[in-house]
């Protein structure tokens, strides 16, 4: 993919969607669009993918704190990468995560001579039926799409949901660019260290297949919910059906 082709497609995808940050809602015209994270959340209820925030077993307050921390870190790192603020800032509890990203960015600067082409830009495609906000997008020197997803925490590796998220974002640019894409998940830690994982090659095909399953399930579940059947009730029915088959 050339930079010109990337810019044209990205421009189209930006024009197709409006994002309400307060309600985390994407719309195209009068139509509400499924978000990538919403699709993954619904698919997780049906067991297609793991839930990045299993609220049934994790304290809800802890989950909310993690979300708020992630939002702060995303905002500050985006400002730094967009050069709208200095990396030298007043001390805060998030400094370790910011330092970790600055260390990651040094590695990517060697890979991406043109830097980041899109930073936290809402993108959507009515034809595909979903929208999302990739953390970072760029092109490699050979024209491969580069997609990066940031996570914060102190675990040993990024939550596996990054693979499906980045596959979904890559698919907005077409099947061929998605299959050829270089996708990364980054876990930023409070002590300034990080874990960087990459998915490519055969993994891209598998991740795209899972994403499409997730999207199909989310569409079906939302359609049934509009007809008066709540998603949790659908999950309960599916679980009972699976148990009957197993018995």
Write down the pTM of the prediction: 0.89
Decide: 42 and 153 in contact? Cβ < 8 Å.
Answer: no
Q: Which CATH architecture has domain 3-236?
A: Alpha-Beta Complex (3.90)
State how beta strands 145-152 and 182-188 pair. parallel
DSSP code string of 33-98: EEEHHHHHHHHHHTTSS--SS-TTTS-HHHHHHHHHHHHHHHHHHHHHHTTSS-S-----TTHHHH
pLDDT tens per residue, range 154-209: 878 888 889 999 999 999 999 999 999 999 999 999 999 999 999 866 567 899 99
Tell me the domain boundaries of the chain.
3-236
Spell out the per-residue pLDDT of the chain, length 247, in tens: 999 999 999 999 999 999 998 888 999 998 999 999 999 999 999 998 876 555 544 567 777 888 889 899 999 999 999 986 555 565 677 899 999 999 999 999 988 988 999 999 999 999 999 999 999 999 999 999 999 999 998 878 888 889 999 999 999 999 999 999 999 999 999 999 999 999 866 567 899 999 999 999 999 999 999 999 988 888 888 765 554 444 4
pLDDT tens per residue, range 36-51: 999 999 999 999 887 6
């Amino acid at each position: 993919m050339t930079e010109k082709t990337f810019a044209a497609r990205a421009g189209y995808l930006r024009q197709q969607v409006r994002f309400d940050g307060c309600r985390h809602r994407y719309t195209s015209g009068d139509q509400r669009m499924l978000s990538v994270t919403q699709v993954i959340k619904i698919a997780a209820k049906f067991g297609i993918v793991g839930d990045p925030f299993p609220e049934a077993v994790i304290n809800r307050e802890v989950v909310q704190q993690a979300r708020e921390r992630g939002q702060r870190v995303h905002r500050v790192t985006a400002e730094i990468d967009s050069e709208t603020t200095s990396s030298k800032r007043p001390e805060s509890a998030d400094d370790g995560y910011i330092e970790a990203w600055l260390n990651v960015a040094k590695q990517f600067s060697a890979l991406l001579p043109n830097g980041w082409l899109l930073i936290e830009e809402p993108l959507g495609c009515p034809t595909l039926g979903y929208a999302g906000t990739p953390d970072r997008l760029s092109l490699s020197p050979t024209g491969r799409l580069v997609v990066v997803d940031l996570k914060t925490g102190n675990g040993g590796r990024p939550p596996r949901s990054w693979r499906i998220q980045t596959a979904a974002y890559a698919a907005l640019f077409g099947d061929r660019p998605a299959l050829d894409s270089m996708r990364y998940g980054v876990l930023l830690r409070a002590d300034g260290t990080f874990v960087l994982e990459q998915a490519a090659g055969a993994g891209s095909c598998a991740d795209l297949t899972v994403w499409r399953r997730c999207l199909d399930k989310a569409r079906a579940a939302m359609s049934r919910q509009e007809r008066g059947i709540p998603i949790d009730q659908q999950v309960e029915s599916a679980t009972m059906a699976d148990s009957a088959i197993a018995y």
